[in-house]
Chains A and B, each alone.
Chain A
Amino acid sequence: MFFIFVDNYYTDTNIRIKYMKRLFLVLTLLIPLFVFSQNDYYPIQCEGDIPREFLEKTSVKIASDNHKSSSNSSISNRQFRRFNAINNYYVDYLLKGGKIVFGTDMNEYVNKVGFNVIDNFDGIEREEIRFYIVKSPYVNAFTTENGLIFINIGLIAQLENEAQLAYVISHELVHYKYHHSLNTYKEKNRSTYDRGTISRNSSEARMVEYSHDQEFMADSLGFLEAYSKMGYDFDQVINLFDVLLYSNLPFDEIEFKKDFFNDSNYIVDEKYIMKEVDLISNPEDYDDSHSSHPNVKKRRSNMIDLVTDFDSDNRNLYLISKKDFQKLQKEARFEMSNLFISNLEYGKAFYNSYLLLRDFPDNKYLKKTLTYSIYALAKIRMEGGLSDVLTSYKKLEGQSQRVNFFFKKIKAKNLSLLSVKWLWKYNMEYPNDAYMNDLLDDVTYALIDRYDINYNAFYVPEHSISVNSSDSSSSKPIFKKLSPEEYEELNKYDKIRYDKKFEKYYGNAHRSRSTIVKTENYKRILSTETLDENFKEYYKGVYKKVSNDNDISEGETTSEKLKIDKLVVVNPTYYFVKDGEFRINNFEEKEEIISKSFTTLSWKEGINTTLIDIMKIRESQVDKFNDLAFMNSWMYEFENVTDDDGNSKLIPWQTNYIQGIREKYNMRYISSMGVIDESYANQFSIYQLYTVFFLTALPSTIVNFALNKKMIHHFFYCVDLNTNKIIYFNIESMEGKSSQDFVNSLNYNVVNELKKL
């Protein structure tokens, strides 16, 4: 299902042309800033000048749209204004939230393909449409009433060729041309637009859902009005529906080898390996009821009927550039690992990197994302909540089922040891990666703290051989095979040593008979690493630190003052909720009041506060825009890996990148804050009957009944980037609304608390 929304945002055609020319100039002159090579990759960032619509106030856009007459005469003015508010609000959430990519090579290529489609599409001019790429791993594309077409990286990663991309764009242009989003809004009478959530963090997919008829119309008219007029291969239309149908599956299907985690001293327990995975159903049998694109089967079937009437001879997969498409696809697939991790989908991230490592075995970024995924899954297995970050293998088909089965079945302790192993391996290869060193410290500490595994518990290959070898001068060690009774007589460490020797002589087929291997195989996970004296020293050092820390009683914890004198506050947010429903109002003004108040008060108290707010960014400051995008994304991730007590379950992935920004802004503390105004009807209380007897209380009671009850909720948290911990978290609710005095008081309270830390 592709999506919607629409409206013409630039009224003056000249301005639009001027704007687009400038954008093109920027796009063509840009030197790619992101690092992408065979051996590394840096998550995608925007480049060039920031498009005007990113920096313009939402309220201005809404007012501008309200002045235009609705193309749909059957919609009332009130509905139209409401639609404009919702439309612009959510679109701006995407644009200003840092989820959108502009100005990159990827954008340039998508623009070329998109404009080629527009040129073949009657009734739409190039100037009306802007294409943007969304940093989302989900297979999706959607269109707004304003002429913005958003294409998710998740979709690009799954597309097989340029023809499929062109068909996606054709489809979206139909939604735009026929004002599907406005019509859907009218038909649904805003019921699905603005209820049920107070979060601006909702998925773009929730913005609107098209009716089945509109989807069928977009499928067929997209094909007839544009796609069929170009030279693209018709079969790709059907293939695209297969992409949508299997959108829940990874971009490729390669066996997850059961020996992936093995080395010369450790073999993964068989019970963690799924023997037979479920074969992926063919399109006709595929159950798409749980898919993100329900109804695709029927749409596919309809399009088969339509497309087969056309002759597909001499048709092309590429009209613009095959090379550029492949580059776009590759970047998107690389980016997917980053997006999956940022979205806490560690199983998917692991398999995505696993798939890519096959073609790019030396890529540092892929090794890093894969290692991080193991780390994150290990930490979450220890802390609980795996089901939130790993899809049940029962719901999957194909090789990814085996991946998820493994992470579900493996014991938390074993997975933690595996995480230590992979991080150690990574750090040996890239010793200067301080972030990954932090992860190693973190998981090793947690492992020892939780399971108290002493270094001596590990099976040390060299050590065992030397101890058991009675005749070290002999060039051919003697091995005496034990009977089952003799084997049972051995202590568990001797059993391990025996097993190892047995393996050396007879291979690992004996494992199934060895109970000790089944139950204590974890001792072998780090066997190879124990051969490294550095590892031995490192592990013992962490063990000692854990012991020391545990010896310190809670009362003896040091209370060194943090002395916060510098703070970065990211995008203060404001919501208005009336009777449980999120309402769009003058939120920008409120956000400004809140920000200004906090900045002024914190400066007054000696805290140098830097506000990172998109409304303060100028057109040429794309670096600041990228920083803001990272901070937003990092905070989203951080909030999701933090428990109710403010303790982080793991070190967030994007902390890796925030460190660069940290140095740039010379910051140690980063904060997020927001205010919610809540209004609801007063409930009658029996105590209010006292007014019958005391006239003095009557005016107050009448006012109470006449006015809604108002509450202001203020939240704030501050993270110490040195420790990755929330050092201050506060939610304060007061009866009142976000007038200056309440905002000041709540903000100052936070500033005062920060000063005390």
Chain B
Amino acid sequence: MKNIILTTIVLLISLLSSINLNAQVPGYIGKRILLKGNSNFTIRWNKEYWIKYGGSAEYVISKDMSIGVSYLLNKSIIETAERHDDFFKYPNFILKTHSFSIDIYKYHNIAPLGNFVKFSPFFMYNYSPDYYVSDVPLNSNIDIYSAPKYNEDYMSNTNWGFTVFFGRRRIVKDIISISYGLKVGFTWINPLTAQIISDNNNDTPFYPSGNSNMGNTYDYTAHDNFFSTFLSFDVNIGFVL
């Protein structure tokens, strides 16, 4: 993971250094900074859908290019029949996914207006507030007739990938930015790769340890991350400063 981040930073620095930052950049009538609220919508044929929210910032670095950072939060309810412990069954759990990306925008003509393509390598952090992955009971579990209490070691894992966004931006009253478009993406840990990892590495930290028998969280997050990213519709509204 660190390697990927490092590589991205090196790429960005080399990109920036290749651009003469002293050259006057038109931007939108001289404005080069954009702050935006993002929303992202994905739907599949089996009626699964995801709505993500977040924000992003963008800075125009040349006539037709800009760079930026984005954040998106996805909250999913993962349904599962097999998840249970010794006392309860848990039919679903909440999965929160935080995505952080570095965005490189290439506009067809003059940034930040009109059609553009955005390439965004991203890092995902998956976390569940109600999915304990530890089966170690708390020391205070003295009453054997009560439900055991476990250490609150919630499920979490990471993922990464990239998206390519084909979008279009309009600017209203010289200040309000509205962009929309289609985003296609790919996660490195997806249903296919998760299966391969699962087959080869049963002892990876992505699987619950001990005897909790709570299923394979890796499968759930890989599925959710991939299909919420693969193809989506994206709308951003913000300000041009």
Contact = CB atoms under 8 A, between A and B. Distances in A.
A752 B60 CA distance: 14
A694 B231 contact: yes
Interface string B84-114: 0000000000000000000000001110011
A748 B26 contact: yes
Contacts of B63: 749
B30 A748 contact: yes
B234 to A, nearest CB: 10
B29 A744 contact: yes
B115 interface: yes
Given A694-B231, A745-B29, A735 B174 contact: no
Interface string B206-241: 000000000000000000000000011100000000
Interface in A55-105: none
Contacts of B232: 696
Interface in A706-757: 732-736, 739-742, 744-746, 748-749, 752, 755-756
B171 A734 contact: no
B182 interface: yes
A591 B28 CA distance: 21
Interface string A683-706: 000000000001111011000000
Contact of B30 (A604, A695, A746): A604
Q: Which of the listed residues A739, A744, A752 has the most CB atoms from chain B within 10 Å of its own CB?
A: A752
B26 to A, nearest CB: 4
A755 B24 contact: yes
A749 B110 contact: yes
Interface of A: 601, 604-605, 694-697, 699-700, 732-736, 739-742, 744-746, 748-749, 752, 755-756
Contacts, number: 70
Contact of B110 (A694, A735, A745): A745
A236 B172 CA distance: 66
Interface in B18-65: 23-26, 28-30, 41-45, 63
Given A695-B45, A696-B42, A697-B231, A744 B28 contact: yes
A734 B28 CA distance: 14
B16 to A, nearest CB: 20
| 3 nearest CB pairs, A to B | A752-B26, A741-B171, A748-B29
Contact of A695 (B43, B170, B172): B43
7 contacts: A696-B231, A696-B233, A734-B108, A734-B110, A740-B174, A741-B174, A752-B30
B114 A734 contact: yes
Contacts of B25: 752
Contacts of B30: 604-605, 748, 752
Contacts of A733: 109
Nearest to A597: B29
Interface in B178-219: 182
B114 A736 contact: yes
Q: Which of the listed residues A739, A740, A749, A755 has the most CB atoms from chain B within 10 Å of its own CB?
A: A749
A601 B232 CA distance: 37
B65 to A, nearest CB: 14
Interface string B145-182: 00000000000000000000000101110100000001
Contacts of A749: 26, 63, 110
Contacts of B28: 741, 744-745, 748
Given A697-B182, A734-B114, A741-B172, 9 more contacts: A696-B42, A696-B182, A734-B108, A736-B114, A744-B29, A745-B26, A745-B114, A748-B29, A749-B63
A755 B23 CA distance: 11
B239 to A, nearest CB: 14
Nearest to A690: B231
Given A696-B41, A741-B171, A741-B172, A735 B29 contact: no
